[in-house]
Amino acid sequence: MFFERDGVLTMIVADVAGKSMPAALLVSALHAAIHLLFEEGRELAEIATELNKHIHRWSAENKFVTMVLVEIDREAETIRFVNAGHNPSYVISDFGIDELRSHGLPVGILSSSTYKTQARPFPAGATVVLYSDGITEAEDVDGEEFENARLEKILEEHRDASPATLRDRIAEAVDAFTVGAPQKDDQTLVIARTAR
């Protein structure tokens, strides 16, 4: 999901636990709640905290959502984020590769969970990479996972690439790694870069 408000770009990648109709209903409820909370002008931590309350109330005990919300402020050259139990996202800049690690439980597990917004520098020309665990947990025919080390190697080798090129390199590497093995999970990549 993408939102733009007052020159600030917000991106969200979420992964709902489970499959079939209950998971689809939870995705629908999550989508509607996120739109409503953004329209109210809520801050990222507030959005995550409110979503947690709603999802905990709406969903079955074993249903939860890992989620990363990222906000790029191009003018301030900062990135703000909330990572609720999701894979680490990455910021690639001239300073290296920085992980945006999880700092809270997945949404919907405990009704009392609250979240805090973290911030990092995001200079002109920086890139942010968000993805679902279908990328790093993709398995080859022997059951070995792609894992973060392989992803990080691609990010390092293509750190100056455009978002489209970087997306293609990651997708190609995952496809080559898993050739002959069934795809077990959705694979999502969201990549954004600011102009220099």
DSSP letters spanning 102-151:
--SPPBTS-TT-----EEEE--TT-EEEEE-HHHHT-B-TTS-B-HHHHH
Domains of the chain in sequence order: 2-193 (3.60.40.10)
Per-residue confidence (pLDDT) for residue 30, from 0 to 100: 87
Residue 18: predicted pLDDT: 74
User: What pLDDT was estimated at residue 143?
Assistant: 95
> How high is the pLDDT of residue 106?
96
Q: Do residues 131 and 86 touch, judged by C-beta distance below 8 A? A: no
pLDDT of residue 29: 83
Residue 184 has phi, psi (to 5 degrees) of -95, -20
The reported pLDDT for the residue numbered 196 is 84
Residue found under tokens 């609250």: 114
Mean pLDDT, the chain cut into blocks of 10 residues (196 residues total) = 88 86 81 91 95 84 88 96 98 95 94 96 97 96 97 96 97 96 90 93
Q: What is the pTM of this model?
A: 0.93
